[in-house]
Structure 1
Amino acid sequence: MALLLVGLFLFIGVHCIRPFAPDLRESMIEQLGARNWKLLYSAVAIVGLLTTIMGYGYARYSAVWLWTPPVWSRHVAALLILVAFIYLAVAKMPYSKMKQMGGHPMLIGVKLWAFAHLISNGSSADVVLFGAFLAWAVADYAISKRRDREAGVTYEAPNMKYDLIAVVIGTVAFALFAFYLHPILIGVAPFAI
């Protein structure tokens, strides 16, 4: 579990700098330069992500089962994760009704992904991993929305074409990951019969 906690500290910690310590971020950019700051940020995030993945892999084998999720939770989780993939696709679209309505679609996608995994998994490793991501995404979303209101940020006029593109891309990515990559990368087949 320690390796998982170190990975989460690095990955989520570096992602907390902008919302929780913007002055530190600006100071680092001034000292290191924008390019070097991005390289350092990316390096810490990558090391944190890889450490989180390895730590979760080890923690799963010694995790304590806190509850047994009901069967219905798998179906709800699948639907939520499909929507999460769509929101991740929306994050890359220049114009979107979904982006205009909610703002920060990447954080919405992370919240849905983490919540879906929390309701459909019941081990202590799952609670630590997905709970940490959910807590970070909820806090970052609230701070980002407040920052947008204070700065008067508005999103471009929506174009439904980009929402449709995001739905197609998100659905294809979800199917590819759920049926092919999840079993290979995570070791769990979400739709095993």
Structure 2
Amino acid sequence: MGLTILIAGLAIFHASHLFVTKRDARAAAIERLGTNGYRVVFSIVSLAGLALIVWGFAQYRATGWIDVWYPPAFTRHIAATLMLFASIFFVATYIPSHIKTKLKHPMLTSIKTWALAHLIANGDLGSILLFGSFLAWGVMARIAAKKRGDNGPATAPSGYRNDVIVIVIGLALYGVLSVYFHPYVIGVPVFSR
């Protein structure tokens, strides 16, 4: 049951986000619904998909775990390291910096890094579906952005002050996610088993 709910949530969430890459269809929807109407509908559909993903994955973990392969223990260390970078990339999305300019689309880079980190450290079917689909979506969204000529910010701010801020906040975010969020909300400790 949980796996079915997870798959439905992934389908809804990814379909809504892939729709955004179809610029003509998106523009037609905005014209029909208005900007605010489009945002409301997009948000409702995305949140519904996300809620189903969370609910389905929780159900799957509690009742229907299916192992596909058994990742070696060292993959957890690789995942933890990748998550440090994913946290920094996430913060770079919101602060103009050389990091943001270099990455072009730091949110997509963060999502792809997050998904890859979790994909290599988890060998169960639900995790493969969850993280594999987000990795595939991130790759497709980046290709779509490149095809439409969306190359992110063209110039970085002068100096490296904002880069230091991005790194410091990214490190803090990584600490919060690793020490508090992952063990207490997800139920899986990051730094010990």
TM-score of the aligned structures, taking structure 1 as reference length: 0.92
In structure 1, the residue matched to 2:173 is 173
Identity of aligned residues (%): 35
SS at structure 2 position matched to 1:190: coil
Q: Which amino acid aligns with 1:126?
A: S
In structure 1, the residue matched to 2:191 is 191
1:156 aligns with 2:158: no
Q: How does 1:1-193 map to 2 (within 5 A)?
A: 1-19=3-21, 21-60=22-61, 61-93=63-95, 95-148=96-149, 154-159=153-158, 160-193=160-193
SS at structure 2 position matched to 1:33: helix
Segments of 4+ moved more than 4 angstroms: none
Structure 1 CA distance for aligned equivalents of residues 152 and 66 of structure 2: 45
Structure 2 CA distance for aligned equivalents of residues 35 and 78 of structure 1: 39
Unaligned 5+ residue runs, structure 2? none
SS at structure 1 position matched to 2:70: coil
Unaligned 5+ residue runs, structure 1? none
Structure 1 CA distance for aligned equivalents of residues 175 and 79 of structure 2: 14
Q: Cα 1:179–1:33, aligned 2, differ >3 Å: closer, same or farther?
A: same
TM-score of the aligned structures, taking structure 2 as reference length: 0.92
SS at structure 2 position matched to 1:64: coil
Structure 2 CA distance for aligned equivalents of residues 118 and 157 of structure 1: 32
What's the CA shift for 1:185? Answer: 1.6
Aligned length, in residue pairs: 189
2:71–2:122 CA contact under 8 A, matched in 1 = yes
What's the CA shift for 1:154? Answer: 4.7
Structure 1 CA distance for aligned equivalents of residues 102 and 53 of structure 2: 32
Q: Which amino acid aligns with 2:182?
A: H
